Amino acid sequence: MENIVPGEIVRLNGLMRRVTAPNPGVMTGPGTNTYIVGKEELALIDPGPESAPHLSVMLDAVGKRLRWILCTHTHLDHSPGAKALKQATGAELLGYLPKPDDGRQDAHFAPDRVLREGEIVDCGAFRLRAVHTPGHASNHLCYLLEGQKLLFTGDHIMQGSTVVISPPDGDMAVYLKSLERLLSLDLAALAPGHGHLIEKPHDEVRRLIAHRLKREQKVLDAFSKKNPATLDELLPLVYDDVPQGIHAIARRSLHAHLIKLEREGRVMEQNESWRLRI
């Protein structure tokens, strides 16, 4: 599998190209993927962060044929690039409205059309269907390329890593339900917001669900060593298989697991400590 190079336009099939933004990192992998779909009239999914070099590459790739800009969600590595791209092309901007700012939202995102679950964007030669997949972000949409059975997953599913669930907008229970929903869709491949195309999509969804539930069991098992325990005391026990350099990020998902378990009546929180209910 070839390395993903930011700024390089890669043809994935006869209908679709990928160009990756120059924002690689712990949270973004090789960078945020922008997908360009179509031949005559084009749709572009996830224009990425504000970036003059990325904007230039996108404009070179679409020329004067861009008609639709779609965003999967309003985190800062996915939607802020839409503003300049829309100004340069006049394309229609579509997506969900942003949530109240938690420091991770593109508060300036202003779609021309707000999409909801099941709505169709008819692009003539192809159709994109909005699939509401909250959990990573409450306003997260995946887009199903009908006919090709390919799902653009944004940050609902990443290739090579699991996504971070950051409360309060991120919700672990809701995320797992959104993953389970995908098992009912007829899918041939996933086009993630970070990383390579994923073949065998249902196998990947099942793997992710199993991984999250295994992590949840590690949360419960950690209380056999310390009960009650703070988030910071649980962190090295639950994520002992993860480099310490990313423990601060993992802490968010740990919090999301605990909130889920509290709602289920399996743990309780008091004075910033968590206790297993016996």
Which residue in this structure is represented by tokens 């999409």?
Answer: 115
The span from the CA of 95 to the CA of 224, in Å, is 45
The span from the CA of 161 to the CA of 171, in Å, is 18
> Beta partners for 45?
35, 70
216-217-221 Cα angle (round to 5): 125
Question: Which region among 32-36, 56-60, 105-109, 115-119 has the lowest average model confidence (pLDDT)?
Answer: 105-109
The span from the CA of 190 to the CA of 93, in Å, is 23
φ, ψ of residue 277 in degrees (nearest 5): -80, 130
Q: How confident is the model at residue 54 (pLDDT cuts 50, 70, 90)?
A: very high
* pLDDT above 80: residue 99: no
pLDDT, tens digit, 9 for 90 and up, residues 217-274: 999 999 999 999 999 999 999 999 999 999 999 999 999 999 999 999 999 999 899 9
The span from the CA of 155 to the CA of 170, in Å, is 12
Q: How confident is the model at residue 103 (pLDDT cuts 50, 70, 90)?
A: confident
* pLDDT above 90: residue 278: no
pLDDT of amino acid 169:
94
CA-based nearest residue to 86, from 94, 96, 78: 94
Domain ranges for the chain, please list them: 10-199, 212-276
pLDDT, tens digit, 9 for 90 and up, residues 164-214: 999 999 999 999 999 999 999 999 999 999 999 999 999 999 999 999 999
Q: How confident is the model at residue 18 (pLDDT cuts 50, 70, 90)?
A: very high
Beta strands in 25-167 (DSSP E): 33-37, 42-45, 66-70, 92-95, 113-114, 120-122, 127-132, 141-145, 150-154
Q: What is the mean pLDDT of the segment spanning 98-118? A: 88
- CATH code linked to domain 212-276: 1.10.10.10
The whole-chain average pLDDT of the chain stands at 95
CATH architecture of 10-199: 4-Layer Sandwich (3.60)
CA 185 and chain centroid, separation = 18
pLDDT of amino acid 104:
86
